[in-house]
Amino acid sequence: MSQAEPTRIEPLPRPLCGSIRVPGDKSISHRAVLFSAMAQGTSRVRGLLDSKDVRASIGAVSALGAKVDLEKQPDGSLAGEIRGWGEEGPAQPQEPIDCANSGTTARLLMGVLAPWPIRVTLTGDDSLRGRPMRRITAPLMKMGAQFEPAGSETLPITIIGDRDLKAVSYESPMASAQLKTAVLLAGLGAEGETMVTEPAISRNHTELMLPEYGATTTAGERTASVEGPCTLQATEVLVPGDPSSAAFAVCAAMMKRGSQIQVDNVSLNTARIGFTRTLERMGADIELIHKGSAGKEPYGSIHARYSDHLVGCEVPADKIASVIDEIPVLALVAAHAHGVTVFRDVAELKVKESNRLQATKEGLLSLGVECWTHGEDLFIQGDPDLHVPEGIVFDSRGDHRLAMTWALVGLCHNAGVEVTDFACTAVSFPDFLDTLQGAC
C-alpha cells in the first residue's frame, strides 16, 4: 500500500538475448522453511528465494520457536540451517503472526499448527486480510481444529489446535495446492491416512518434498495422502529457480522482436510449466532442456525465441491451476497474437493478491485491447500490431505479478510506461528489472 510515485519503465534498447537465472521457487522456498521448522533436527537449505513472502514464513517459524540461521549468498539466494521444533512442537508466540502479503504462509501455517495445543492469531496486510480463508478452516475444523471468530472468512483468525486431530478423506471443492497442503500437514498429526481429492491437478511440491523429510505420502492424478502420526526428520533441500518468475522473461521474449533467451536452473515441474505449453499452443518457439533433479523436483533450462506469428488459443478449465499465477502475463502475450485467446473458468483470479481478473481486463483495455469476460471465462482479442501510446500509468494494485506484467509493456515496446507501487515486485522477484535489463 505504498503511496510512492509510480515507477517509470523505459523500453529495452535491444532484444533480450543470452542466459539468465531467476531466483528460487517461491512455493518450494515456503515449504522448505515450514517443513524444516516442523522437523526434528537441523535441515540445510540452499537456493532459497530471498523475498518478502518467504521472509514472512521465516519470521513466522522463528516466532514459533524454530532456529533459523540463513545467510545471503553472492547469487542473492539464502542458504544455511533451520533447526526445527520436532517432537516438542511449536512454542506459543506472545504476539499475532504477521503473514504480510503471503497467502501461502497464512494458509500453510494453519495446517502446521492444527495438531498442537496452541493458540495463534494470524494476520496480514490489507490484501491478505481480504482473501478467503474458510476454504482452509473448513476442512481443518472437520479434523478437530477450532478457529476464532468461528466461521470467519478473513484474517485475523486465531487457530486453536488439537492434539487429537482426526484423519479425513477430503473432497476439495477447488484445485488449490495451498488447501491440499494445509490438510496434508494437519494430517501428519492425525492417526491414519489423510487424503485430499481435487477436481483438477494442482502443484505437487508438498507430495514431492514431504518424503524427503521422512513422511509417507501417496500422490495420484488428483489425490494426495499422508500417513500420520509422523514427525518430520531434518533433511537437505536445494531450491531450483521459480518458473513463475521465469515466465516474465519468457513472455518478454515473446513480445520483444528479435529476442532469444535461455532461463537456466529453473524448476520444470509439470504442474508449474503450464505457461510453456500455453505459449507453445500459441505457436511459440520454446524448448525445455532437462538437466537433473533437486530432490524430486526436476529442473533445467527454458529456451524461448521471438516469433511474429503467435495465434490465440483456448486454455481449458482443468489446466487453469497449472497457469494460475501466469494468467495476467499470458493475457498480455495473447494481446499480441492473431485471433482470440480464452482462459476458461478463471474465477479464482478474483481472490489472488488482488482481483487479477478485473485488473488484467482494465490494464488491457487501457492499451486499447479488446478483452471481456463471459461467465467466468476471460477472452482477449489479440492484435499483432498492438501500439502502446505514450503516458500510460498502470495500477499494480500492490500485486507483484501485475506490477511485472505491466512493466513488460514498457520494456518490450517503444513507449515507456509507469507502474504504481512497483516495489511490490519484492514479494517474489526482487531483481526483476535488473535481470531483464541485464539480458540485453
Grid coordinates belonging to 389: 501510446
C-alpha–C-alpha distance, residues 70 and 260, integer Å: 35
Tell me whether residue 109 or residue 337 sits nearer to ligand S3P (CB atom): 109
Q: What is the DSSP string of 388-435?
A: --TT-EE--TT-HHHHHHHHHHHHHSSS-EEETTGGGGGGT-TTHHHH
Q: Which stretch binds ligand S3P (CB under 6 A): 170-178, 299-307, 361-369, 414-422?
A: 170-178
Interface size with ligand S3P, residues (CB under 6 A): 11
The residues near 14 (Cβ < 8 Å, ≥ 6 apart) are 258, 440
Tell me whether residue 37 or residue 177 sits nearer to ligand S3P (CB atom): 177
Q: Which of 25, 50, 325, 395 is catalytic?
A: 325
Restricting to residues 306-325, which ones interact with ligand S3P according to CB under 6 A? 324-325
Answer for which of 43, 77, 178, 420 binds ligand S3P (CB under 6 A) is: 178
C-alpha–C-alpha distance, residues 17 and 399, integer Å: 27
Sheet strands (E) in 52-167: 67-72, 78-83, 97-98, 119-123, 146-148, 157-160
Specify whether 385 is catalytic: no
Q: How many helices (H) and strands (E) does the chain have?
A: 12, 23
C-alpha–C-alpha distance, residues 165 and 187, integer Å: 8
Tell me whether residue 104 or residue 262 sits nearer to ligand S3P (CB atom): 104
Restricting to residues 225-264, which ones interact with ligand S3P according to CB under 6 A? none
Restricting to residues 74-133, which ones interact with ligand S3P according to CB under 6 A? 104
Q: Which residues of 34-52 are buried (b: 16+ CB within 10 A; e: fewer)?
A: bbbbbbbbebebbbbbbbb
Answer for which of 51, 176, 225, 278 binds ligand S3P (CB under 6 A) is: 176
Tell me whether residue 26 or residue 277 sits nearer to ligand S3P (CB atom): 26
Q: Which stretch binds ligand S3P (CB under 6 A): 92-100, 175-183, 207-215, 411-419?
A: 175-183
Tell me whether residue 30 or residue 83 sits nearer to ligand S3P (CB atom): 30
* Residue 267 found at the interface with ligand S3P (CB under 6 A): no
> Is the peptide bond prior to 90 cis by the omega test (within 30 degrees of 0)?
no
- At its nearest, how many Å lie between ligand S3P and the CB of residue 207? 11
Binding mask 191-210 for ligand S3P (x = CB under 6 A): -----------xx-------
Tell me whether residue 262 or residue 405 sits nearer to ligand S3P (CB atom): 405
* Residue 269 found at the interface with ligand S3P (CB under 6 A): no
The residues near 86 (Cβ < 8 Å, ≥ 6 apart) are 38, 39, 40, 41, 231, 232
- At its nearest, how many Å lie between ligand S3P and the CB of residue 262? 25
Q: Which residues bind ligand S3P (CB under 6 A)?
A: 27, 30, 104, 176-178, 181, 202-203, 324-325
Catalytic positions, please?
A: 325
